Amino acid sequence: LESSNMGLPQQHGPAFQVYDSSTKDQSVSALTFFTLVKPSEKEALKSDEALAKQCAEQMAKVWTYFRQSEYANQAFYYTKFHVQRWPMEKWISEDDKPTTIHPHPHPMRALSEPEWDGLLEFAGSETDRQSPGVMEGAVGAARRVLQSLESFVESLKPERSNVCVVDSTKAGELSDQTA
């Protein structure tokens, strides 16, 4: 598929979003899933391997739907998987067993505005003006802050003016010519 990310129908599995995390040169193929495991899926709640298998099954169904049988057949041939259960992280979530997906935030211009006369910039997915709350938002926010910092650094450079530079080794010649 030619999409770098897409939403997934949750009636076919735990994932609601998938991102192509492959390297640009395709030397590593990887998919990143965002999931919401239903309380009834006890095995996937406990086992990372079971969750990875359910995501593979879900992708196989999606690729079959899009008539991509070659990809569907490859869905189960992954060599590694890593599960990060974000709701279990203390600073990420107050609910360690969420049952719903909260919508991504809407852009809030105030979060993307510099503070302290431009000396403090905020960068993070939620501060992006186009795609807050998602990976593209993190990249957009980083680019916005980088551009702002580049402008700030440029403003610190002294202005060029018409300054006469005299070579001190030839200062004697100059005084002889003016006499």
Q: What is the model's pLDDT at position 1?
A: 43
User: Would you state the pLDDT for residue 137?
Assistant: 87
Position 11 scores a pLDDT of 78
Residues 6 or more apart in contact with residue 136 via CB below 8 angstroms: 5, 128, 130
What does residue 120 show for φ and ψ, rounded to 5 degrees?
A: -125, 120
Q: How far is CA 125 from CA 20, 23, 131, 134, in A?
A: 18, 21, 7, 6
Tell me the average confidence (pLDDT) per consecutive run of 10 residues in the chain, 179 residues long: 69 87 88 89 91 94 92 91 89 81 80 89 90 86 93 84 62 53
Decide: pTM greater than 0.75.
Answer: no
* Separation CA 160–CA 50 (nearest Å): 65
